[in-house]
Amino acid sequence: MPELKTVGLFMVTALAEIIGCYLPYLWLREGKSIWLLLPAALSLIVFAWLLTLHPSAAGRVYAAYGGVYIFTAILWLWAVDGIRPTAWDLVGSGVALVGMAIIMFAPRGVS
């Protein structure tokens, strides 16, 4: 099922981006070790590489990825930050996922 593979790859990509941004946050806002910047940089490199694995045009991938990123960030809010998402968080991330599905999986004519 290529759709599940695409969504799964987007989720792994989103985790790499969130980790790459969260670790510097811990250093800057929480006073954690500056050494967190090394795995953060590696995570952002992996994030950029993962985006190249999609066969679709880059602009389409970036646009659709945003929907999965929103959903994954809401999961992060719950799992890592310990804040339960509101109904509006869930509705908004659901709308973002519908947008991603339309962008990535809509039938395309030959142009």
Predicted TM-score of the model (pTM): 0.86
Dist CA 31 CA 82 (whole Å): 20
What would the mean pLDDT of 46-61 be, rounded to a whole number?
88
Span 80-96, pLDDT tens digits: 999 999 999 999 999 99
Are 62 and 88 a contacting pair, CB within 8 Å?
no
Are 74 and 89 a contacting pair, CB within 8 Å?
yes
Q: What is the mean pLDDT of the chain?
A: 92
Give me 10's structure tokens: 């987007």
Give me 95's structure tokens: 């709308």
- Please tell me whether residue 87 adopts helix, strand or coil conformation: helix
Span 1-22, pLDDT tens digits: 788 888 899 999 999 999 999 9
Span 20-38, pLDDT tens digits: 999 999 999 999 999 999 9
